[in-house]
Structure 1
Amino acid sequence: MKNFILALIVGLLVSACSIQRSAITGDKRAYGYSWEQEKQIGKEADEQIKQHFGVYDNVALQQYVNKIGQEMLAVSHMQREDTPATYKDTEFFFRLLDSPVVNAFALPGGYIYVTRGLLSHLDNEAQLAVVLGHEIGHVAARHASQRAFIQQMSQIALVGGAIAGQHFLGIPGGDLLGIGGMAAQVIFLSYSREDERESDRLGVEYASMQRYKSAEGAQFFVSLERMSAQSGQSIPNWQSTHPDPAERATSIPELAEEWRAIGYEQTIVNTDQYMGMLNNMIYGDNPREGFTRSGTYYHPEMKFQFSYPEGWHVINQRSLVAVVNNDQNAVSIMTLDNESAGAEASVNVFLNQDGITTTGKSGITNRGLQAFQAEATGQTQDGVALKFYLYSIEYDGMIYRFINYTTVDNYGTYGPRFKEITSGFRQLTDSGILNIQPVRLQAVKTTRSGTFRSFLPANLENLVINVTPEDIAIMNQVGLDERIESGTWIKIPR
């Protein structure tokens, strides 16, 4: 029976692969999905990406990113005379995500994302063109589908790994953060280093064909290397599967020179335009979307707060807030419940799941707010016995649901901590916190010469986020003691 099931699975995987022509080489090759499936996967995952990270609220900057992306697309392998109609008719979408993380990525079927964190670390339009061209290269070469095919043939299940490599009690980070299904399968599928090198080549090719000074892209990778050295670890999502940043800092100018040698003059940098678009963009974490201070989580926009135990850390996402202990064997996850009619119904949604056994429940009030609590047991797929404390509270026309859990053996220790977190939920009334504003970038041309350090604001420690002089120097792709000539653009957080 076991062998029969294994044979059936392998048969399904083999039959699921698609043989199609490559948009890059024109040769036939095997992919994990057909192009139509890739477009559908991208479309479905795009909705989850937008919901989870949020799109940055600046129409002009969104349009600017899309404009440069469309320029790169026009000369890519997706839009050439000999491109098969299957690919040529595909619409591409370029999104600017509201995230401080320095990141860019692509989903199958034509969905390209850059973060405001990445934009803050670029110095000009030429660098943005290379990055967007690189991501178009991933889509054109169908790298995700290639990796899916390889994993299918290796009988490796496609599952969403944990964000930042973490798992909580065996539950993948993709599930914890609400990214599941095909989206998780694709988002957490790593490219090979050769995939990355191919996309580097394509990114330089596309930028060079549009006359951008594509060698400028090397400076961004120098900054990545400095960020990596500063943090003592690889940069999220431009990490172990990517070629070493120092390698790319050398290879990208070499690739650019190859295109110059065959007649593609590369003169466009467009620093003035880029800095003008970047001016006043939010920098770093936006405190209005939630922040912590002295053991309390505050959300100024939604006007609530709650305390959490000493030594626990907070994961603040647009779609949830998670509080996790140091041993990562106890977690409290708060989300908005937009479906239930009240606190009791909200708790019952969880309790009514298969495999959950309710051990007690009751209605309560918290500072005049209606709430409902329950305890229940269940187990992971690996058979680990869990105990849950569920808590939903009605506040300001919305329902906030806390799902708290740990192992049955540890519930005696962490159960009281869960109740401390949930009972601490209350209205935020401190006007100083309610009116807190994010740090924004000021892009300015220097009117004198001097070391970069001499241009830094004196009150850096008074900003609402933690930022060091070295952080700002890296963002500007310069050294702290590097001489800056008069008339040079710099980006300063204020």
Structure 2
Amino acid sequence: MRSKISNSFLLLILALLFSACSIQESAISGDRRAYGYSWDQEKQIGKDADKQIQQQYGIYDNEDLQAYVDNIGQEMLTISHFQREDTPDEYEGTDFYFRVLDSPVVNAFALPGGYIYVTRGLLSHLDNEAQLSVVLGHEIGHVIARHASQRAFEQQMGQLALIGGAIGGELLGLPGGDILGIGSQAAQLLFLSYSRDDERESDRLGVEYASMQHYKAAEGAQFFVSLERMSKQSGQSIPDWQSTHPDPAERATSIPELAEEWRAKGYEQTIENTDQYMDKLDNMIYGENPREGFTRNGNFYHPDMKFQFPYPNGWQVVNQRSLVAVVNEDQDAISIMTLDGESAGAQASVNEFLNQEGITTLGKSNAQSNGLNAFRAEATGQAEDGTQLKFYLYAIEYDGSIYRFLNYTTAEKYGTYASRFDEITGGFSKLTDGEVLNIQPVRLQVVQAGRSGTFESFLPTNLETLPITVSPEDLAIMNQVELDEQINVGTWLKLPSK
């Protein structure tokens, strides 16, 4: 009897495993292997998630720069494993999309199915087109190698192994779709971490693609030197054996070695295109854009949308394109403001939240916020782990839009933070300060040095007057030089300018 149960359980595990994976040929190796999703599924997942990424971060408003990055990316694709004589049929004709996100964070990433993103923050830290080609080639490599889908398959296998250990040999009615979370494919792939081997493979592919297009691929190492300096500056340096990513110093060494291997195969690597690249960076926004929201003296200001509200001392503001969150130091209380574009008014906006399953309304009423019509309510609910939560909803009608604050903490701590929630929501008002309304972002002024001197000698003397915090070391890292490094005549410099 026990043997029959074990065999039945094995069959169940195998059925779940093969229904939750796809066996397809790798475009890199040509071998058949298991992926978490079929290639068609990956393309659809990427398409769906791309909309969320654009909404969350926004696309940088510069068509010329967008086209420039896309052209280089499309050029890299022409020699990739998706456009070769032995490319498997299912990959041929796949469209790739390259987008510049309006974010100061130094980052590049890829979604399954052909969606590649670089931030303006990353672009500001590159020095030439050759470096950009390696970065784009690296992200293309993640997509072509289907790393996210590989990690999804491994995660699914891990979940199945856990299930097998948990039921102790007894055959239970377990719905595979629910266990594996198949319904949240996009979320799964967005938050899966690549392994160090994945990153190393993408480094190899990035250098391969850049070298085959005759870019000076060894230049890509300089970006990882910058990453290492940024990590040390922030005090967040992580040894490579503790991270899912190879250490930046390791990659700064390996990339020139990989480039040399391709040079030895006959691929000349002479293209840097520094002048062209610097021309595209000139006048690009640098750092946080204050017009999209900034903090000063305990207030959050949004010049473009002409509103402001206070936040408690010691609380942290997280400003994103789709929301503004204010979190306390202990991270057990939060206020989240979003723009409700669907409700007809403040009351309808609050009711939309209250009408959700699992929410119990305690009370609600009309309100006023600095002369603006508002509606508020209190409610309770339960977190996934069973924790009892208490909510304070507050929606405000302003300038033809509905601004809704969702404030909550645990039920037992609500009395501690209720006054803080009132302080935030009750302080929402029209922004009238002319200086704040007219604030402008810092932009990069890209120039060639007209004299010799240390890099520090070229820095503006008014850094402290800029609307963002920037240090001389920040600028040295962005320019891939040291503060005391000698700059020759004609060297390109990226400097902040009001």
User: Given the alignment of the two structures, is residue 486 of structure 1 paired with residue 489 of structure 2, yes or no?
Assistant: yes
CA deviations 1:305-331 (Å, max 9, x no partner) are 000111111000000000000000000
- Residue 84 of structure 1: how far off its partner (Å): 1.7
The 5 Å alignment of 1:117-132 reads 117-132=121-136
User: Given the alignment of the two structures, is residue 403 of structure 1 paired with residue 406 of structure 2, yes or no?
Assistant: yes
Normalising by structure 1, report the TM-score. 0.92
What amino acid maps onto 1:260 in structure 2? R
- Residue 183 of structure 1: how far off its partner (Å): 2.9
CA contact (8 A) 2:317 2:327 kept: yes
User: Given the alignment of the two structures, is residue 251 of structure 1 paired with residue 258 of structure 2, yes or no?
Assistant: no
CA distance in 2 between counterparts of 1:471 and 1:309 reads: 29
CA contact (8 A) 2:13 2:160 kept: no
CA distance in 1 between counterparts of 2:427 and 2:250 reads: 50
Select which of 432, 439, 442 maps to 1:439.
442
CA distance in 2 between counterparts of 1:322 and 1:156 reads: 37
Could you say which residue in structure 2 is the equivalent of 1:342?
345
What amino acid maps onto 2:254 in structure 1? S
CA deviations 1:83-128 (Å, max 9, x no partner) are 1221121000000000000000000000000000000000000000
User: Given the alignment of the two structures, is residue 145 of structure 1 paired with residue 146 of structure 2, yes or no?
Assistant: no
User: Given the alignment of the two structures, is residue 449 of structure 1 paired with residue 452 of structure 2, yes or no?
Assistant: yes
CA distance in 2 between counterparts of 1:436 and 1:206 reads: 43
CA distance in 2 between counterparts of 1:200 and 1:187 reads: 20
The 5 Å alignment of 1:11-410 reads 11-155=15-159, 181-234=184-237, 240-410=243-413
CA distance in 1 between counterparts of 2:278 and 2:384 reads: 51
CA contact (8 A) 1:234 1:240 kept: no
Relative to structure 1, is the Cα distance of residues 93 and 382 closer, same or farther in structure 2, using a 3 angstrom cutoff?
same
Relative to structure 1, is the Cα distance of residues 281 and 45 closer, same or farther in structure 2, using a 3 angstrom cutoff?
same
- Residue 5 of structure 1: how far off its partner (Å): 10
CA deviations 1:11-40 (Å, max 9, x no partner) are 434311000000001110000000000000
Structure 2 gap ranges (5+): 162-182
CA distance in 2 between counterparts of 1:362 and 1:9 reads: 53
What amino acid maps onto 2:466 in structure 1? L
State the SS of the aligned residue for 2:159: coil
CA distance in 1 between counterparts of 2:10 and 2:388 reads: 29
CA distance in 1 between counterparts of 2:11 and 2:374 reads: 51
Percent of counterpart pairs with the same letter? 76
What amino acid maps onto 1:333 in structure 2? I
CA distance in 1 between counterparts of 2:28 and 2:346 reads: 54
What amino acid maps onto 2:367 in structure 1? I
CA contact (8 A) 1:204 1:252 kept: yes
What amino acid maps onto 1:192 in structure 2? S
CA contact (8 A) 1:14 1:153 kept: no
CA contact (8 A) 1:452 1:480 kept: yes
Relative to structure 1, is the Cα distance of residues 119 and 401 closer, same or farther in structure 2, using a 3 angstrom cutoff?
same
State the SS of the aligned residue for 1:155: helix
CA distance in 2 between counterparts of 1:10 and 1:341 reads: 51
Relative to structure 1, is the Cα distance of residues 304 and 6 closer, same or farther in structure 2, using a 3 angstrom cutoff?
farther
CA contact (8 A) 2:370 2:428 kept: no
Runs ≥4 in structure 1, deviation > 4 angstroms?
4-10
CA distance in 2 between counterparts of 1:12 and 1:347 reads: 42
Could you say which residue in structure 2 is the equivalent of 1:168?
none
What amino acid maps onto 1:129 in structure 2? S
CA contact (8 A) 1:45 1:182 kept: no
- Residue 6 of structure 1: how far off its partner (Å): 11
CA distance in 2 between counterparts of 1:217 and 1:397 reads: 48
Structure 1 gap ranges (5+): 158-179
- Residue 186 of structure 1: how far off its partner (Å): 1.2
CA distance in 2 between counterparts of 1:191 and 1:289 reads: 32
CA contact (8 A) 2:370 2:427 kept: no
- Which of these two proteins has the greater Rg computed from alpha carbons? 2
CA distance in 1 between counterparts of 2:333 and 2:12 reads: 39
User: Given the alignment of the two structures, is residue 419 of structure 1 paired with residue 429 of structure 2, yes or no?
Assistant: no
CA distance in 2 between counterparts of 1:88 and 1:241 reads: 31
Normalising by structure 2, report the TM-score. 0.92
